[in-house]
Structure 1
């Protein structure tokens, strides 16, 4: 920006000079920038002398001394630019004065290099509002205006953000600190599955739940409302025991958090707890024709060698066996009363407690329970 300084000479009969000036009283500049100044209607036979009181910049001469350029240094603050004229007769004017306000450059930075979906990318810039932030997202140039008090973007799209520059009311500056960040993709949704006995149970019964599809390195935070006992199953962050002490309907929730501290959506399941004195039971009675044992001992003694369910005959039943960590270790579809305590590859399973889910394919009826494997 170029400012003109007006100088006026009034000659008396003694040829004494009286100087008055008309000048823009204040100019706002940016540190590290460069601005031009000139005298309006300069006299061809006069010379002009320029100066800065606080030496806040370097005066760069031009081809004519009635104009200059100033390259400002790095220090914000107040300075005073002055100029006076000397005519061919050696007479000098008073100083023309311009007040200079040197503004710092605005800046903005990213909070960290890896951000979660939905995080604020940048905000709280340094400078004088309104702001505009210029950035690159996945190779495409973009800009963000003031919204509403300072610029910000919520990272709803995964990808790479690079800060380029920022402008405020007066100046254009550049990012400081972290200038590039990656927005991580959102976590996949979780589901809660009740392995045993189901979504409805009696007071004092143990509910075994598992969270499906969590990330490999995620941490799960379980919450069960009501008067209850909740504990993780040893060796597993994906599975819990819950025992409720009072009748009612209670929400069971789980929140996933990955190693970056990103949170997923909260999964929720409502659990009904009945009193044993309540005639309405949580699950229908098992079919009377089925007898499901709770012990299997494949040790070649001829007793309980296979998991034999009386009553299934040739009907279409799907059997799933899970270990105490909720991992599927065996599946029979249809099941033919032939499980001998082995996994899906035929390897012998360790003794312990397992959980079964028996699903009638035609009627969609489900039976769940625990099974003890002995050797």
Structure 2
């Protein structure tokens, strides 16, 4: 394709490129690394939230009780926010999608604290107070009491997840009620959030506070969201993990898959591509085939979410890490594509931990995920248990590219092909505008259009599917130019071996040629029969023509004699049956189909077929050895063209050497390979004697010959 248009990509998560967490721990992420920072003023056992601007400059961080600005100063009214730093996911910073500089800070109390504030929110203006930032309102309830009463509980689990809305602008804040199976999805828009339109999803297990009379007591855990925002995972310390579908268009949670694998299970994270899920737990070690002390074995397990049934997913868990004396707690995917894991030595929160584990290749099944312990070294006193709540990755355009020929020929359809991994989903509608007044609606990511006139046309394609987010659009430009002229002429039929010069004719300025053999000249010779093509391109518009070179059959000759040649006889030479209309030419110029030979020697015939193809054959004719030998006893070299030389009839003269003697016995002539040419040159008439010898066989003939002029 001549052109590929790419949409503008969503920016990387610069707003969440820094994490401030734990006891003065902090990281700054690049697309491929994590850099340890040492400027945090925050101390937190678990809860933390961080937000930056679109360039990655730090704006706010909080532990749910206090909030600091990017210069590490407390905001005006930035204390006593009402949250609890012991809450696993106790706070989340959410930008106001349409009010620059304004943020919501959502807080949750701890599960084991006396206060029962539930989900609260504070509104922050980072530009207020001369840039110091100010908390404008705090401790505001998010969920109305009337809704909580209807749902049967006002207490919340220590869990929050932040999911980008399908429209690409707003956010869902998802949490879970205690002693229920209820998820609450709060839509955060540029107008804040509507307390009357909170989405309720009753799905999955009921989670009770430990010590509750209910036999299925539980303890805090965490929520995780997949990169595309279409799945949630929940883990709790007793009941283990569940995976759900999430609809970022309406906030509903559905289709639970129970994974289990509980006993102090507190960390959970999706792989970047969403195909795998990681879950941590601490369990008993002694007595179970492990050398760890009681409750000191640490495991991280990987589940394959691509499998077709819930049972298969639940059974797919494989260990990617096992160790003693520590507990992996927090677990979170970062913008560098890795998963980072926080742990407590011996599972004891009173002991500091100076390192983070890393899963370096989290999209890879099994040990190939590269689980690395203590991969990131923090500075001393950086105790950590959980990481900040961050949203899923920004949605990538479903229209990844539009491919088409940027320059096309008049009368030739232009094919437009959209590329994107999720195109063709149910509900996809593509509206095409080809720029010449023609439009088309398709459900498949391809369209073809024929432009009737030359010119330049603006092309637009719009993807509509509310279930997958806002409309997307791509634009392009197509130039339709006149087709170049090309005519290789009619097919050609020639004789075998005859070269034909193929030509595209006179080329205009800027015109290029390509033949089927890759040559680029205006002409090319063709000898062998077959199909030949040439392609001429002008201003990006190409046209191709073909020509077939056919070969006529050449005459098939086999020159033979009708019978053996003897010295006293004659033979008829022929080339075998030939098509009617064939023409003949023998070595002496005669044109009959047959030739009468009376002497040994070289004979040649040329035959021209009715189609004009020529073939030639030759024959060396010799005397047959079985014929009687005839040697002359007189020659008359008098110039009358009769009996002029001593000719060996019945013998192949070159096979024989000759010696000739006069009547007194003196040798007057000798020749090793006789040529039938002796005419007694310079000798008087009279009687002469000869000796013929065949060197190959040893045969000899001798006799006399009379010379009479």
TM-score, normalized by length of structure 1? 0.41
Greater relative contact order (CA < 8 Å, ≥ 6 in sequence): 1
Select the structure of larger CA radius of gyration. 2
Greater share of residues in helix: 2
